Amino acid sequence: DAGVIQSPRHEVTEMGQEVTLRCKPISGHNSLFWYRQTMMRGLELLIYFNNNVPIDDSGMPEDRFSAKMPNASFSTLKIQPSEPRDSAVYFCASSSGLAGLIQYFGAGTRLSVL
Amino acid sequence: GQQLNQSPQSMFIQEGEDVSMNCTSSSIFNTWLWYKQDPGEGPVLLIALYKAGELTSNGRLTAQFGITRKDSFLNISASIPSDVGIYFCAGQKGGSQGNLIFGKGTKLSVKP
């Protein structure tokens, strides 16, 4: 069974450009989470969805960040405009209500904003 | 926001040594999870704990859910080179729908 799939694995962009990160959760999972990981702040939850509905977006740093989940098998995290301080590794994770709280992570997208 | 204090931040191991790390919080958690992250990869679940006092093993790994529900411990026995990586604890308080709070990690490296 395929795990959580994220694309791209690496993204290098210039300040001011729009960046879109993509995630395909594990089939059958009904919760999806977006995290940001940096050396300084560790793993931070940005937003999570349950049954495609955003439940908690209090971790989204500012209006430049937006996330969508148009269906159960796809989610995007968009940064517009991007800034150098957005450079980080962004992870998507999914979980199934039936399996409790165990979240399965994708391999991440390493974003560098120059 | 919520914080989990994970220690040590880093440690060096020699093959065959036992390793211990822990996670503490000022708040009570209902669930503790331990993940391991290898370079360039996402965290992978090692052990999940659901009850205070629970002791669970996964091969050479053993984790415990503290009696006070404010802490958890992870031990690795007879370490091997592939144990290097970053270990994260994560906790969940009752009532939230799967929202986990992560510690900052313990980085395990091999002694030169």
- pLDDT (tens digit, 9 = 90+) per residue, A10-45? 999 999 999 999 999 999 999 999 999 998 888 999
Q: Is the CB of B110 inside 8 Å of chain A's CB atoms?
A: no
Alpha carbons B98 and A102: distance in angstroms, whole number: 8
Cα–chain-centroid distance for residue B54?
14
- What are the chain B neighbours of A31 within 8 Å (beta carbons)? 97-98
pLDDT of B2 above 90: no
Alpha carbons A39 and A43: distance in angstroms, whole number: 9
Q: Is the CB of B39 inside 8 Å of chain A's CB atoms?
A: no
pLDDT for the residue B110: 83
CB B52 within 8 A of CB B66: yes
pLDDT for the residue B111: 80
A13: which strand partners?
A: A113
CB A40 within 8 A of CB A108: no
User: Does B100 sit within 8 Å of A105, measured CB to CB?
Assistant: no
pLDDT of B57 above 80: yes
- pLDDT (tens digit, 9 = 90+) per residue, B59-111? 999 999 999 999 999 999 999 999 999 999 999 876 655 678 899 999 999 88
CB A105 within 8 A of CB A92: yes
| CA dihedral (B57, B58, B63, B64) positive or negative | negative
Q: For tokens 């859910």, what's the residue?
A: B65
CB B46 within 8 A of CB B34: yes
Number of A/B CB contacts below 8 angstroms equals 52
pLDDT for the residue A84: 97
Tokens, residue B105? 């990690």
Q: Is the CB of B44 inside 8 Å of chain A's CB atoms?
A: yes
- pLDDT (tens digit, 9 = 90+) per residue, A45-79? 999 999 999 988 988 988 999 999 999 999 999 99
pLDDT for the residue A73: 96
Alpha carbons B42 and A10: distance in angstroms, whole number: 14
Q: Nearest chain B Cα to A95, which residue?
A: B98
Element (H, E) at A42: strand A42-50
Alpha carbons A55 and B46: distance in angstroms, whole number: 27
Strands across the sheet containing A5-7: A5-7, A19-24, A74-79, A65-71
CB B66 within 8 A of CB B73: yes
User: Does A103 sit within 8 Å of B99, measured CB to CB?
Assistant: no
User: Does B105 sit within 8 Å of A101, measured CB to CB?
Assistant: no
